[in-house]
Amino acid sequence: MKVEDFKSFDELPVGNKWIIVTNNIEAVDAHGEMSHVWLTAFFARSEQFGFVTFDAADRKIINLTHWKYA
């Protein structure tokens, strides 16, 4: 994945589509690949936590900053 393919949540994705989201656009793993990314079809805006989604274990992922279509 490339950072330049992601869009800020200032521009919202079309509903009912799979998206890849991140809360740290600059995070990379030991191999230099993007980390802190999740595949989701759901996101919501929270007053306290910004944009949020949930992972497969139902843990809340907070402060989403960027997205791209899967």
The model's pLDDT over 15-62, given as tens digits with 9 standing for 90+, comes to: 889 999 999 999 999 999 999 999 999 999 999 999 999 999 999 999
Q: Which helix (H) or strand (E) holds 66?
A: strand 66-69
Q: What are phi and psi of 5, to 5 degrees?
A: -80, -15
pLDDT at 32: 94
Cα-Cα end-to-end distance for the chain: 10
Distance of CA 24 to the CA centre of its chain: 9
Domain boundaries, the chain: 3-69
